[in-house]
A and B are shown apart, each in its own frame.
Chain A
Amino acid sequence: MIKLVSWKTQRRIVPYIFIAPAMLLLAIFTFYPIISSIRMSLCEWDIIGTPRFIGLRNYATTLSDMTFRHALLVTFLFVGVTVPVNVTLALLTAILLNGRLALRNLFRSIIFFPAFTSMVAIGMLWKYMYSTDYGIINYIITLFGGHPKDWLANPAWAPWSLMLTSVWYGFGWNMVIFLAGLQNIPDQYYEAAAIDGASKWAAFRFITLPLLKPISLFVVVMAVIYAFRMFDLVYVMTMGGPGTSTMVLMMYFYRQAFIMLRMGQGSAVALILFVVVFFFTVLQLRFFKGEVSY
């Protein structure tokens, strides 16, 4: 009897012991910093000295800073261009490599691989390939009769160069998710459509696309989040330059918080970025809600 009681008490405490390390780490290194991030954003604080409460002034300074507004625009450009290009390319590649093709697993592996390599190394590699005077890309362009361009040195070109690298890096990841989605569609649907005399395009339009919708929604939402948070490539390839032509929000945040050491304003920028991303995520989920019903 005594044994039973102690066993029962033990069972009551044991689960909390199991989850304690994770909850403790979360409390110290996630929840506490969230609160202090909000608090810091209301203070003027450059690393040394003590924080001084200044209300919402950090937010006002940020929102009226021309560089911030520019960074917002650059970020929207990145999101608006890379997400559709990345997702479309990923979907088309998935469809291509879902077909009967010799060596298709090899093709998949090759296209899948870059997404796991370090963005730092990839950024460096592309920086070298983009170089104006001895870059391989300019050489290939001249082979086809084009004129060399200063890909990363020209403010008009630099954002597009970064976007190309970012799509190159990321579309294989989304391709794999789409492939999984395509493999979940039963063959009978296509066979039935073929018996009914549907064309390949009709099968794609009325079977593949609708059934891929839930997965596409997920892919798009995640791609938007990642695009908003782009940092590594920019840091390695352009540092936000030339001028501020590639100054994405994360780069602006890093500059304010860790180069200029304005911790208070940095926290405000990070929270603004968080709210923007959150807003767009909810917007997309709302927009597609009801359409996803499979």
Chain B
Amino acid sequence: MKKVIPYILAIGLALFVLLPFLWMFSTAVKPLKETFSWPPYLIPHDWSLENFPISVQRSNAIRALLVSSIYTVGCIVLYLIVASLAGYGFAKYKFPGDSILFLLVLGTVIIPIEVIIAPLFMLLKSLGWVNTFHGMILPRVVEPFGIFLLRQHFKTIPDDFLDAARIDGCSEFGILWKVVLPLSLPPLTVTGLFMFLWRWNELLWPLVVGSGEAQRTIQVAIALFQHEWFVEWNYLMALCVIAIIPILILFILLQRYFIQGVVMSGLKG
């Protein structure tokens, strides 16, 4: 009996987490009338995948997915470049002001987006950058997380490696590109992955600076879907499934890095 109790608890918790997701997936393949049925049931009587194309068409979700992808990938690529450069600069050089500047970077951890979102919006407005990709992306590619993570990792790479490359005539940027970065794939993956998760799932920022019809991310499209349509839950859940699928795939492939990132935020933060 004592051996069974942990299993009962674990299965109970897993079902508590899993059942809502099953409900989402099942609703996404139900015809509309089954979403209002009483009693509700998990297994659809008459399931089909046609909700996906219909919901995508109606809410202009193709466009929204494209916007989300450009926004997310743009942020990841720029962030990896910016954070690698800065992390390397802070890890491998001593220069006047280095510790103060690094503290300044870390200090932005305590500045949440809402404190600066109103002035940022006004700034973008005066530049004519509202509802543009560069307006959405550029303000969101500075996060201390990756700079700190990469700096910690770069510090562990022996200076001998760098000096050997220098003697071979490698430039300082060449060293970072050819020697250091190839040795840093795990922290780069964690950095890119978390940038992906933050930007793909983000609501407030894209809602404020990109709520124009053509500039909505998938999250904004879902959030505004309910205001524009009488709520057809099957279509809405289909959109939600579409928004979650990329994360599910990455979660299955890269789970190790998900855990690393979370633990890193916990143990070092």
Contacts and interface: CB of A to CB of B under 8 A. Distances in A.
| A interacts with B | yes
Interface of A: 10-12, 14-19, 21-23, 25-26, 29-30, 32-34, 36-37, 40, 47, 93, 96-97, 99, 101, 104, 106-107, 109-114, 116-122, 124-126, 128-129, 133-136, 139, 168, 172-173, 176-177, 180-181, 215, 218-219, 222, 229, 231-232, 235-236, 250, 253-254, 257-258, 263, 266-267, 270-271, 273-274, 277-278, 281
Nearest to A19: B89
Interface in B231-267: 233, 236-237, 239-240, 243-244, 247-248, 251, 255, 258-259, 262-263, 265-267
B185 interface: no
B71 interface: no
Contacts of A231: 114, 203-204
B201 interface: yes
27 contacts: A14-B172, A15-B98, A18-B85, A18-B176, A19-B85, A29-B138, A30-B116, A32-B119, A101-B6, A101-B10, A107-B10, A110-B17, A112-B258, A112-B259, A116-B197, A118-B222, A124-B226, A124-B240, A129-B23, A133-B36, A134-B40, A136-B23, A139-B40, A180-B259, A218-B266, A229-B114, A231-B204
B61 interface: no
Interface of B: 6-7, 9-10, 13-14, 16-18, 20-21, 23-24, 27, 35-40, 81-83, 85-86, 88-90, 93, 95, 98, 101, 104-105, 108, 110-112, 114-123, 125, 138-139, 141-142, 147, 172, 176, 197, 200-201, 203-204, 207-208, 219, 222-223, 226, 233, 236-237, 239-240, 243-244, 247-248, 251, 255, 258-259, 262-263, 265-267, 269
A125 B23 contact: yes
A106 B185 CA distance: 26
B39 A266 contact: no
B171 to A, nearest CB: 9
A37 B115 contact: yes
Contacts of B114: 229, 231, 250, 253, 270, 273-274
A14 to B, nearest CB: 5
Contacts of B116: 29-30, 33-34, 37
A24 to B, nearest CB: 9
Given A109-B255, A111-B17, A168-B17, A124 B93 contact: no
A26 B104 contact: yes
A280 B244 CA distance: 34
A218 B247 contact: no
A26 B20 contact: no
A239 to B, nearest CB: 9
CB-based closest 3 A-B pairs: A18-B89, A15-B93, A177-B266
A118 B244 contact: yes
B2 to A, nearest CB: 11
Contacts of A32: 119, 123
A120 B255 CA distance: 22
Given A32-B119, A113-B17, A116-B201, 9 more contacts: A26-B108, A33-B120, A101-B10, A118-B201, A118-B244, A121-B239, A121-B244, A125-B20, A125-B237
A257 B83 contact: no
B141 to A, nearest CB: 6
A36 to B, nearest CB: 4
Contacts of B125: 47
B142 A270 contact: no
A41 B263 CA distance: 37
A96 B201 contact: no
Contact of A121 (B13, B142, B207, B240): B240
Contacts of B38: 133-134, 139
A39 to B, nearest CB: 8
Contacts of B255: 109
Contact of A18 (B86, B115, B243, B248): B86
B17 A30 contact: no
A128 B237 contact: yes
B118 A25 contact: no
A73 B220 CA distance: 28
B55 to A, nearest CB: 12
Nearest to B166: A7
Nearest to B222: A120
Which of B7, B208, B223 has the most A CB atoms < 10 Å from its CB?
Answer: B223
A270 B122 contact: no
A265 to B, nearest CB: 10
A25 B82 contact: yes
Given A26-B104, A136-B23, A124 B222 contact: yes
